Structure 1
Amino acid sequence: MAQRGSAPEKRPGFFSQIKSLFKFTREVYPWLPWLQIAILVAGVLVGVILGYLIPPLQVWSIILWGITGLMLGVLAAMILMTQLSTKAMYKKIDGMPGAVGHVLSTSLGRSWQASDTPVGVNPKSQDAVYRAVGRGGIVVVGEGSRGRLTRLIKDEKTRSLRVAQGVPVTVLHVGHGDDDTPIDQLAKTIKKLPKAIDKTTMAAVIKRIDSVSQSLSSLPIPKGIDPLKARAPRPR
């Protein structure tokens, strides 16, 4: 009798994901538990005070208001942890090869198309160039040493201008210099670009660029960040 196929991998439960998210965030922000406790206590206190101030003044009313304050405190603590987890993720991947690819492929939304695989790479230094196409045109993003990226960025910009005439090409460099874009501001910067093409033109541009893009599969390309090591786990 043939062996049955292996059972599908069981996804972690909601509370397991919350626990993982908490541990991930606490590694970067050790004070997170104390702040969350303070928020819970503040929520209960606010609820109890409202219970005293809002008539009728009864024990059950004060208890209910206290529970309501606790629930609101839990919600606020969860929102805080989610926001901090995003910042923690950016702190962890900042400067890592493939960080740009991870951000472009996960944080731009449906109005942009990008891959975690670079379109140009220096095999020795791992400096890489990525590309995103969207309503704002074409964006070429450099990751690594600005000096070593000059040729790669120029080649990609020239290729984009050749196959998509009339479409604006924006060049960004991720880093911490005066003219650089920090990794945590990359997605926001791209999304703020003014709309220059419609959806039909965007689809045509993507098709043209894909048709002329050279295969880089034989090169040691950093395909983004390992999500299990660098991305903050999020609850469902």
Structure 2
Amino acid sequence: MAQSTGAKRTGKVKLSRAEKKAARLVRKQRRRDSFKQMRQAFTLTRKNDARLVPYLVLAFVLTAVPLYLLVVFITDSVWLPILPALMLGLLAAMFLFSRRAQSSAYSQAEGQAGAAAYVLGQLRGDWRKTDAVAGTPQLDAVHRLLGRPGVVLIGEGAPQRVKPLLAQEKKRVARLAGDAPIYDVVVGRGEGEVPLAKLNTHLMKLPRNLSKEQVVALDRRLSALGAQRAPLPQGPMPGGVKMRSVQRAARRRG
């Protein structure tokens, strides 16, 4: 009875041995999954980025060595700065690896059907995304974003097919958008196009033209707009590696 009262006061539930063992197994499996994701991402990135390993070593050295020398100068100890220098060097290397892995994945995915839809899924902030509101049998597609800048239509595929799709969808949206701005973006490397790796950065730089209330109201109006869904393959990233998982794993190990 006393143990039960004590547990209620502290708000903690005492776990049985079996429950503690199960919790340890879950944590162990998560660490294994994290390491597996990191190893897979490293293997894939190294195949497509010959400079990866030298750059990681350089990032580690340029971060760890100056810190080590600085702490030695301040404390006059050769042993004290070893651990913090190693930790900071590993953190710098992991950060660089995350960035280069993301860049490598984007470069491999560029031109694949559904790549833009995946990248838009990484967009931060209050955006309402509708995939493939228009498309062609060749897997060209137009995706619709709604946010504080207004309505943004993103086209991916062959420019000669995507641009007419964008124009057609822009007319449909304009009937309900009122005074809200409508932007159109073509993903690619041609003149006037936005590269896949810079797509989200380009979108985040758009001016904020609408209030939150206007976005909600416009979202309700656009939800009544029919969509001609285009079939898009899932997971355009090479080898099925999701960069969000890679970055989570990098942060855990950093």
TM-score range, shorter chain: 0.7 to 0.9
Pick one of 158, 161, 171 that aligns with 2:174: 161
1:113 aligns with 2:124: no
Q: Secondary structure at the match of 2:80?
A: helix
Deviation (angstroms), 1:194: 0.7
- Mapped to 2, the partners of 1:204 and 1:133 lie a distance apart of 11
Q: Which is richer in helix?
A: 2
Counterparts in 2 of 1:29-178, with a 5 A limit?
29-55=49-75, 57=76, 61-106=77-122, 108-115=123-130, 117-123=131-137, 125-178=138-191
Offset at 1:44?
4.7
Cross-structure match for 2:215: 202
1:196 partner amino acid? N
The residue number in structure 1 matching 2:240 is 229
Deviations 1:13-39 (A, max 9, x none): 333333233223223223322332343
Q: What is the TM-score normalised by the length of structure 2?
A: 0.77
Residue ranges of structure 2 left out of the alignment (5+ in a row): 1-25
1:148 and 1:85 map into 2 onto residues whose CA distance is: 31
The DSSP-based 3-state class of the residue aligned with 1:140 is strand
Q: Deviations over 1:54-91 (max 9, x none)?
A: 35x3xxx2112122211111111011111111211211
Most deviating of 14-23 and 178-187: 14-23
CA gap of 1:113–1:97, structure 2 versus 1, over 3 A, is: same
The structural deviation recorded for 1:43 is: 4.4
CA drift of 1:103 comes to 1.3
SS in 1 for 2:132: coil
Is the Cα–Cα contact under 8 Å of residues 114 and 236 in structure 2 kept in the other structure? no
Cα RMSD after superposing both structures: 2.3
Tell me what 2:16 maps to: none
8 Å Cα contact 2:187-2:199 kept in structure 1: yes
Q: Distance in 1 between matches of 2:150 and 2:68?
A: 54
Question: 1:200 Cα shift?
Answer: 1.4
1:15-34 alignment runs, 5 A limit: 15-34=35-54
| TM-score of the superposed pair, with normalisation by structure 1 | 0.82
Q: CA 1:150–1:50 in structure 2 vs 1: closer, same or farther (change >3 Å)? A: closer
**Count of residues in Structure 1 that have an aligned counterpart in Structure 2:** 218
SS in 2 for 1:118: strand
Following superposition, the deviation at residue 153 of structure 1 comes to 1.2
Of all paired residues, the percent bearing the same amino acid is: 28
